[in-house]
């Protein structure tokens, strides 16, 4: 079974799965630019697979600091990742994406989807419905990195 097939099975069946709605450009930064810290005002105990979802909101100041060619779809899942850990009381030195004064959710093993999967978002960590899980699994790239499955 290919690594992509294993990940697809995790998304559709086996694993607990959550989704996280981010403002743009932050969702695209996770999917495309290696943003590995999500800055939140609250801490999570959830560890595991998470869909990175772009909401309808845009941080216009942040957009100015992003590459001009960064695509920023709205209301769509852009990537699959893993919340590997979360920490507090950090001065922001853990990552260039970390902001002081926030809790830092650590994102690992980001797999960008081949195309955005359109769906409305929700608040906090939300649970994707089965139909969405299948659509995301169908949008996985043919070759998924080995680190995802080994983790």
58 lines the binding site for Zn ion (CB under 5 A): no
Going across the sheet that includes 48-58, the strands are 37-40, 103-118, 76-87, 48-58, 17-24, 125-126
Taking CB atoms, the residue at the shortest distance from Zn ion is: 90
Query: How many amino acids of this chain bind Zn ion (CB under 5 A)?
Result: 4
Handedness of CA 101, 53, 9, 130 (dihedral sign): positive
Q: Minimum distance between the CB of residue 26 and Zn ion, rounded to whole angstroms?
A: 16
Q: Which bin fits 18, alpha (ψ -120 to 50), beta or left (φ > 0)?
A: beta
Report the 10 Å Cβ neighbour count for 104. 24
Query: Do 54 and 81 touch, CB atoms closer than 8 A?
Result: no
Query: Do 110 and 22 touch, CB atoms closer than 8 A?
Result: no
90 lines the binding site for Zn ion (CB under 5 A): yes
Of 104, 117, 121, 135, which one interacts with Zn ion (CB under 5 A)?
104
Helix (H) or strand (E) holding 18: strand 17-24
Helix (H) or strand (E) holding 73: none
Q: Which is nearer to Zn ion, 8 or 20 (CB)?
A: 20
35 lines the binding site for Zn ion (CB under 5 A): no
Of 5, 43, 56, 94, which one interacts with Zn ion (CB under 5 A)?
94
99 lines the binding site for Zn ion (CB under 5 A): no
Of 52, 98, 111, 139, which one interacts with Zn ion (CB under 5 A)?
98
The region of 4-12, 84-92, 107-115, 121-129 touching Zn ion under the rule CB under 5 A is: 84-92
Q: Minimum distance between the CB of residue 18 and Zn ion, rounded to whole angstroms?
A: 21
What residues line the site for Zn ion (CB under 5 A)? 90, 94, 98, 104
């Amino acid at each position: 079974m290919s690594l992509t097939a294993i990940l697809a099975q995790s998304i559709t069946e086996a694993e607990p799965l959550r989704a996280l709605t981010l403002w743009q450009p932050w969702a695209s930064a996770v999917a495309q630019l290696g943003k590995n810290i999500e800055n939140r005002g609250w801490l999570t105990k959830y560890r595991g697979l998470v869909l990175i979802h772009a909401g309808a909101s845009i941080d216009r100041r942040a957009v100015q600091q992003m590459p001009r060619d960064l695509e920023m779809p709205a209301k769509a899942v852009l990537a699959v990742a893993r919340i590997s850990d979360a920490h507090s009381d950090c001065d922001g030195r853990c990552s260039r994406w970390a902001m002081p004064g926030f809790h830092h959710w650590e994102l690992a093993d980001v797999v960008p989807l081949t195309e955005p999967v359109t769906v409305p978002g929700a608040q906090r960590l939300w649970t994707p419905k089965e139909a969405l899980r299948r659509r995301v699994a169908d949008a996985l790239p043919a070759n998924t990195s080995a680190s995802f499955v080994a983790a």
